[in-house]
Amino acid sequence: MRIEDKLYLVGYNVDEDESHIGVSDPEECKKCQGRPCTYICPAGVYSYDDKEEKLSINYDACLECGTCRIVCSFITWKYPRGGFGVQYKFG
Ligand code: SF4
């Protein structure tokens, strides 16, 4: 089974009002070499637009694995507010 197929089994209760992921220093983010967050995340939450020099964070797809916290010290990550986030009911 492909990881994309498994991701379809995961449910989410998305917090539309507040992202639980951010970047503490966007200027340092622009200087990042290799951009590990864009390939280490199993859910593909991060993407970088070279032209706009901007990191996009699709926080509603986060699996709450914590990997991005290890590879980047500028990512600010906390658990979603109570009642929101990933639900592994089907996975
Ligand atoms: Fe991706 Fe895991 Fe970080 Fe969520 S916690 S953004 S799934 S690496």
Residue 9 pLDDT exceeds 90: no
Higher pLDDT, 51 or 89: 51
Rounded to an integer, the average pLDDT of 58-82 is 96
| Pocket around ligand 1 at a 6 A CB cut-off | 21, 41-43, 45, 62-68
Judge contact between 14 and 84, C-beta under 8 A: yes
By C-alpha distance, which of 17, 26, 18, 61 is closest to 41?
61
Q: Which atom of ligand 1 is nearest to the CA of 62?
A: 4
Model pLDDT, residue 90: 56
Model pLDDT, residue 66: 95
Measured by CA distance, the residue closest to atom 4 of ligand 1 is 62
pLDDT digits (tens, 9 = 90+) for 19-69: 999 999 999 999 999 999 999 999 999 999 999 999 999 999 999 999 999
pTM of the model: 0.89
**3-88 carries CATH number 3.30.70.20:** yes
Residue 25 Cα to ligand 1 midpoint, Å, equals: 18
In the chain, where are the structural domains located?
3-88
Q: Can you say whether the dihedral through the CA atoms of 74, 25, 79, 4 is positive or negative?
A: negative
**Helix, strand, coil shares of the chain as percentages rounded to 5?**
25, 20, 55
